[in-house]
Structure 1
Amino acid sequence: MSSVDWRGAWTAALDELEMDVLAVETLLADERRLAETPPSNLWLPPTELGALPLELRPRADEILTRQLAAAEEIARRITANRQQTAVTARIETGEAVKRPVYLDCAM
């Protein structure tokens, strides 16, 4: 593989990865769209590319930083969702423990 093909292959791989992280960031910014959008295809790393060209390292590092931030935001939202679900479950019954309630209609 020539150095031009090698660099081009890595650039294309980073383009694809960057588009994936941009899609996640866009979904996180729009909750309605997040609820209506089906999951995307799983990204698979390209094979036989060899080592990352040194000049592409800053871009790859920036994409990794964005991926980690998006993953952290997803984890935060999952935690918030679970907490909200627990609160909602308690609100629906009015108590944490369900107890029988009797109404004396004889009076």
Structure 2
Amino acid sequence: MTADELATETRRLVDRVSTWTPPRWAASSASGTGTRADRFHALVQELADQAADAEDQPRRAVPRLSPDTALPDQLKVVVADLIAAARDDEARLAVATKRVLTTKRAL
């Protein structure tokens, strides 16, 4: 998969959740593990870790901002960082894209 595919799938996910209210974020995820916000933040953290790995930088915890409605913006920033760091790493981009798609289904 390519950087464009990751950007497209991220945009689709962000478009889907960007109008969610706090109660909707607080609902259980379709997978039954944690809330939708928990699941989404886990995606943001995983992609931030991939970006750090691609840059040979230490992994850092992504802060959990309040309210959860900030999560789509966090995802956009992290994905932009990942694309910048791994534009030519198709394997890393494929893993990231699959993770975005998996999260979209789990919400």
TM-score when normalising by structure 2: 0.27
Larger relative CO (CA 8 A, sep 6+): 1 or 2? 2
Larger radius of gyration: 1
TM-score when normalising by structure 1: 0.27
